[in-house]
Amino acid sequence: MELQLQTAIRDDLFRQRNVLAGDEGGLARTLFRELSKYTHGGPNYTDADLWKSNGPVIVHTVFELWVHMFALVLAIGLLEIQIARPNLTPECSDRRKLKELFSSALAVLVIGSDERRILEAAALLLWTEP
């Protein structure tokens, strides 16, 4: 799949980072590094930095960032489920299928963004049925 993504869009999901070549790696690895900064409270990545206060304050841009990151994590996670269990089917008829959930996560991302482009290309490889 990674080779097909590289051929089709010159990017992929899981490529290793190559600092010497200035290559940040695939989308999943880049996102993991970014989220790690929040997890470990790196400079400019703490709640106080984000909210610009010492208490919970709703800042629209911060909320939008959170929604964006959540959508990316959800979409990548659903792709990983599809890779690992391509024949997985819901146990209950009222549960949404993985592809539908993936489409909902994708809808949050900016049309034409590199992230969305990579995820759309991966989905085309993994979900071949209409």
The model's confidence at residue 129, banded by pLDDT at 50, 70 and 90, is low
Query: What are the CB-based long-range contacts (under 8 Å, 24+) for 108-117?
Result: 108/67, 108/68, 108/71, 109/68, 109/71, 109/72, 109/75, 114/11, 114/27, 115/27, 115/72, 117/9, 117/11
94 pLDDT higher than 50? no
14 pLDDT higher than 70? yes
Task: Classify 18 as helix, strand or coil.
Answer: strand
Contact 19, 128 (CB under 8 A): no
State percent of the chain over pLDDT 90: 53
pLDDT of the residue at 45: 85
pTM: predicted TM-score of the whole model, two decimal places: 0.84
Q: Which residue has the tokens 């993994």?
A: 126
The model's confidence at residue 74, banded by pLDDT at 50, 70 and 90, is very high
- Mean pLDDT calculated for residue range 102-120: 95
